[in-house]
Amino acid sequence: MKKISLLVGALGGATAGYLLSNKKLRDDLINAKDPETVAKLLGKHLQRDGKKFAKHVQEFVESEDVQKNVKKAKEFTKKKVEEAKKEISELVCEGKTKAKKAAKKGATKAKKVVKKNVTKAKKAVKKTTKKITRKSKN
């Protein structure tokens, strides 16, 4: 709700400023006979002044100072992107190294566990075999 009231206030202020700065528009509005004429006059003035404003903005954007600043901004952005890429690359390499170490560690532990379980299984098989041979002799 605050944004809407701020927007309406800004538009009202802009309109008031426009009316105060444009003597011809004020004179035309004073002589207007009905709201429809007022709307037409406002539209006509806004269209003409909008074209002027757009021309000024275009000249400003194309000016040498703005173009220098745009060039600086592009260079700055490019530099920051390169720095970010480098940092990401370093992080990826670091993560890759840690992942390799963890995988080797995990593989070593898995080998030990498998070897231990194989030994236990062999002992269990021997025990079972001895029991079976004893029972078959009896």
Q: What is the pLDDT of residues 4-13, one digit of tens each?
A: 777 777 767 7
> Contact, 41 vs 29, CB < 8 A?
yes
Range of the domain at 48: 1-62
Residue 55 lies in a domain: yes
Number of domains in the chain: 1
**Helix, strand, coil share of the chain (percent; to 5):** 95, 0, 5
Residue 42's contacts (CB-CB under 8 Å, 6 or more residues apart) are 25, 29
The answer to whether the pTM exceeds 0.75 is: no
pLDDT recorded at residue 138: 63
Residue 107 lies in a domain: no
Residue 8 lies in a domain: yes
Residue 115 lies in a domain: no
Residue 75 lies in a domain: no
Residue 19's contacts (CB-CB under 8 Å, 6 or more residues apart) are 25, 26, 29
pLDDT one-digit tens code per residue, 20-69:
777 887 788 788 888 888 888 888 888 888 788 888 888 888 899 889 99
